[in-house]
């Protein structure tokens, strides 16, 4: 993989990738070659997809790590070997959406009872409008001073 490695380093250098990104991308391509016991430029779309599945299902890598690996492979096939068929065969990775944690009734009661509420000033809508008006006037006056 010497020639391919040099070509990949050259392409990444032209695109000003950081040294750490270059290192991670090269390690990913080395892992891809070791996984299939073949040079990465000899692989097909199914083999590349199998490698990404291996990273996800067998090595249990986090979403972000697999996304970096997919980016490394995409850069390799797009820029270093100019095989757009393989670059397009990789589906874009979507970040998994997590549901928000919803508190139970008991948890809400515990949070509310643990906080000391003390006296609060609550503004009426008229007071809020007056405060906004004063803020606009102050901003206009400040802007007028800046122009002079």
Q: Give per-residue pLDDT as tens, 126-136.
A: 887 888 888 88
On whether residue 140 sits in a domain, the answer given is: no
pLDDT score of 21: 92
Residue-number span of the structural domain to which 31 is assigned: 2-89
Inside any domain, residue 74: yes
- 8 Å CB contact between 40 and 66: no
Distance CA 74, CA 93 (A): 12
Number of domain units in the chain: 1
Q: Which residues contact 7 (CB under 8 A, 6 or more apart)?
A: 80, 81
Residue 142 lies in a domain: no
Question: Does any domain span residue 31?
Answer: yes
In a domain, 49, yes or no: yes
pLDDT band at 30 (very low <50, low <70, confident <90, very high): very high
Answer yes or no: pTM beyond 0.85.
Answer: no
Using CA atoms, how far apart are residues 137 and 146, in angstroms rounded to an integer? 14
pLDDT of residue 112 exceeding 90, the answer is: no
Looking up residue 34, the CATH number of its domain turns out to be 1.10.150.130
Q: Using the Cα atoms of residue 61, residue 65, residue 68 and residue 72 in order, give the sign of their dihedral.
A: negative
pLDDT attached to residue 133:
86
Instruction: Look at residue 26 and tell me if it is in a domain.
Output: yes
| Mean pLDDT confidence for 2-21 | 89
Cα separation, 51 vs 31, in Å, equals 9
Domain for residue 145, yes or no?
no
């Amino acid at each position: 993989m010497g020639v391919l490695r040099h070509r990949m380093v050259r392409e990444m250098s032209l695109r000003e990738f950081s040294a750490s990104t270059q290192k991670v991308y090269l390690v990913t391509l080395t892992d891809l070659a070791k996984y299939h016991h073949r040079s990465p430029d000899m692989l097909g779309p199914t083999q590349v997809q199998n490698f990404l599945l291996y990273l996800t299902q067998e090595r249990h890598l986090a979403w972000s790590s697999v996304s970096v690996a997919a980016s490394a492979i995409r850069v390799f096939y797009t820029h270093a070997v100019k095989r757009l068929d393989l670059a397009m065969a990789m589906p874009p990775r979507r970040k998994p959406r997590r549901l928000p944690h919803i508190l139970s009734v008991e948890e809400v009661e515990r949070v509310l009872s643990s906080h000391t509420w003390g006296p609060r000033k609550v503004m009426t809508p008229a007071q809020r409008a007056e405060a906004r008006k004063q803020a606009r006037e102050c901003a206009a006056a400040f802007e007028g001073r800046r122009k002079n």
